[in-house]
Amino acid sequence: MINKPLLDAINDQINFELSSAYLYLSMAAHFESENLSGFAHWMQIQFKEETDHAMKFFHYVYERGGKVTLKAIPQPTTKFKSPLEVFKQVFEHEQKVTSLIYKLYELALKDKDYATQNFLQWFIKEQVEEEKNASEIINMLEMIGDSPVSLIMADRQLGSRKVG
């Protein structure tokens, strides 16, 4: 059984993962409206990954004899600037997710909850990948600058992303 403070924190994480999904879906909608279907596709995959993460936590809670308590998901922002600014926001958001995962891990360490520590290892590794992906896209978009042709090429590249 997971202790109450850790269970509460995991329930908060489920909410945050679902909120993240909703943010990425909002970004996908923005890119669709800008005729950047490759960028939108990339964000739709992010949306799916975040809902998958929430469900991993959801199932874990029940495997450990806890109860999931769902909370309201805040409305995401719907106003975005350039693709570069959007991906800078993605990177910052993923850094926030990483910090929350680390806090969960610290709680599990404090409680000597070895099962939860083991469970969280997957998320720690996943966050390294999430931050790396966002950082690489930021670097690419910074190199592109204001080149419309390069932006079209980047859109095609992001559109080729496969579901993880």
The whole model's pTM is what?
A: 0.94
Please check the confidence at residue 142 and state whether its pLDDT lies above 80: yes
CATH (domain of 123): 1.20.1260.10
Q: pLDDT confidence of 55, banded at 50, 70, 90? A: very high
Q: Write 113-118 long-range contacts (CB < 8 A, 24+).
A: 113/2, 113/3, 113/6, 115/64, 116/2, 116/6, 116/60, 116/64
pLDDT for 163 beyond 80:
no
Number of structural domains the chain divides into: 1
Domain range for 137 is: 4-65+80-159
Residue range 88-108: mean pLDDT, rounded: 98
- Note the pLDDT of residue 127: 97
Q: Is the pLDDT of residue 164 over 90?
A: no
Q: Which of 87, 76, 82 has the alpha carbon at shortest distance from 133?
A: 87
Say how far apart CA 58 and CA 47 lie, in whole Å.
Answer: 17
Average pLDDT of the residues in 94-113: 97
pLDDT higher than threshold 90 for residue 161: no
Does residue 43 fall inside a structural domain? yes
For residue 71, tell me if it sits in a domain.
no
Q: What is the mean pLDDT of residues 84-96?
A: 98
Across 36-62, average pLDDT: 98
Confidence of residue 64 (pLDDT cuts 50, 70, 90): very high
Residue 142 in domain = yes
Do the domain assignments include residue 72? Answer: no
Assigned domain for 154 exists: yes
Q: Supply the mean pLDDT for the chain.
A: 96
| pLDDT class of 153 with cuts at 50, 70, 90 | very high
Residue 74 is assigned to a structural domain of this protein: no
What average pLDDT does this structure show over 65-72?
97
pLDDT-above-70 percentage for the chain: 99
